[in-house]
Structures are given as C-alpha cells and as structure tokens.
A = this chain, B = another copy of it.
Amino acid sequence: MHSGSLFCHFKSKDALLYEVMQEGMRSALARQMIVLLAEHDAATTLRQLIRSHFHTLLGSNSDFMQAVLYESRSLTTRQRSVIAKLQGDYEAAWTPVLQELASAGCLQAEVPLARLLIFGALNRSVQWFDPKKGTSLDDLTDAVMALFIRKKPR
C-alpha cells in the first residue's frame, strides 16, 4: 500500500486502528459466543474459552489484539471507551464460568481478581509465544487449566 492510499478508506490512521480494534473485538466476541452456547460443564467451557482466547491472541489475524492491549492510548476518549466496553463484555462472559468453578472449590481466589490475573497470564503470551518452539495452542491450554483449576474436591 502506498503512503496516501490509506486516506481513501479511512479518515485517519487512528480511525483505521479503531476499526481494526472494533472489528477484531466483535469477531472475538462472536467466536466466544459460540463456545458459550454449547452446553458443557464449567471446566470444559473454561477450557474452550481459553482455547478460543489463545486463537484470538496468537492465531492468524490476531494483530488487532496487540492493538487492543497496547495501543489504546492512541484513541480518543470516546473511542477508547467503546473498545473498553467490548473488552469488558468479552471478559465479563468468563465470570459465571469462573464463579461456578470457584463455588465448586476448583478455583481458589475471588473471581474478579482471579479473572484479572488469568487474563494477564494469557494475554502476555503474545510477547513470548513462538509456534516454532513446538508448543501448540492446545498444549498451552492444557497447561493453563492445570495451573489454575484444581480437580473437584470430593
């Protein structure tokens, strides 16, 4: 693409960024919705949410997530709040699942805090994950489940 061409399609560079972030978050939400519509037990649902989140973070067409996590300061206040709302909705969907696991004793922390810590752990993978190192997204998902979620106590 050539230097002036962007402005045939977007009002500004930040407008493109905003579009990409919004579009990316909406598709991530849609992908996640499919997971949530399947009726599984909480542990299975969480596993699928994590797997889906890794796809969103690390799969192809995932650059938007870098933008959501690290470039929000380039947006206007209004745009930033729209993206924050989408991100909030996305993360809020995990709460009931985590709540159920916490109630069952499988997750040993207050859910709001646990959710922040879990998203921190997962999101940072964009910095260190390297598919060439031989670990698959499924392996990663297994490791995360093992780390955070305990077997249901009798």
Q: Is the CB of B117 within 8 A of A143?
A: yes
Q: Please give the distance in Å from A30's CB to the nearest CB on chain B.
A: 25
Residue among B70, B110, B113, B121 making CB contact with A118, cutoff 8 Å: B121
A123 close to chain B: CB less than 8 A: yes
A37 close to chain B: CB less than 8 A: no
A82 close to chain B: CB less than 8 A: no
Interface residue tally for chain A (C-beta within 8 Å) = 26
Binary per-residue interface labels of chain A (109-129) against chain B in the complex, 1 for a CB within 8 Å, 0 otherwise: 110011011111111110010
CA–CA, A123 to B113, complex, Å? 14
Given contacts A113-B140, A120-B120, 10 further A-B contacts (CB under 8 A): A108-B146, A113-B143, A114-B147, A116-B124, A116-B125, A116-B128, A117-B147, A118-B121, A120-B122, A124-B124
Chain A residues at the B interface, C-beta cutoff of 8 Å? 70, 107-110, 113-114, 116-125, 128, 135, 140, 143-144, 146-148, 150
8 pairs, A vs B, C-beta closer than 8 Å: A107-B147, A108-B146, A108-B147, A113-B143, A116-B124, A117-B124, A118-B121, A120-B123
